[in-house]
Amino acid sequence: MVKEQRGHFMWSDAQRPLLIIDGITSGAKVTLNKMAEKSAASAGLTDEQIHELVQKSHQAKQKAYAPYSNFHVGAALHTEDGTIFTGCNVENAAYPVSCCAERTAIFKAVSEGYKSFRAIAIAGDVESEFLAPCGSCRQVMREFGTNWTVYLTKPDLSYRAMTVGELLPCSFGPEDLDKPKVKGQ
């Protein structure tokens, strides 16, 4: 189940709205709250922890170095033990050596010995839709598993929760290197 918090729709995995939040009855609100709690629990985070993670991603965005694209991105990564690492995008005049916010946060965590993550929140300045990570960042996230949560956010701090596996289906990961290979080639 994918959810949009403080928004207008609950989304199914098929990207169809399940419930329009505006104008729902009190009984439906109870059901909606239970669905939101279940979704938040999938990352093992409380609503307060999710809010903190989303806020920290937006704070990290303020530190972005983006003189060429002017596209500022921040990320906040929640490790299994609750440590939060932040990152921002860092551009370079030689464009290919720039680094995205998500990879900056993950690389900071790995450099400190962390390799198990519960969630990451990604922040940008796009108001009309949730900011999703680029393909390179999705693959770096995938290196550390498919069943951890990615919070795609908007500037108003609303978010949409997905797993890494939902963002990068049919992915290639470390376990693929151990699969049997054709001999003699």
Number of Cβ atoms within 10 Å of the Cβ of 37: 11
The catalytic residue positions are 102
Question: How far is CA 117 from its chain centroid?
Answer: 11
Tokens representing 33 are: 């709250």
Pairing of strands 149-153, 84-88: unpaired
Contact 102, 164 (CB under 8 A): no
Say how far apart CA 184 and CA 119 lie, in whole Å. 42
**Distances in whole angstroms, Cα of residue 57 to Cα of each of 73, 112, 151:** 8, 19, 10
- Residue among 131, 133, 152 nearest 141 (CA): 133
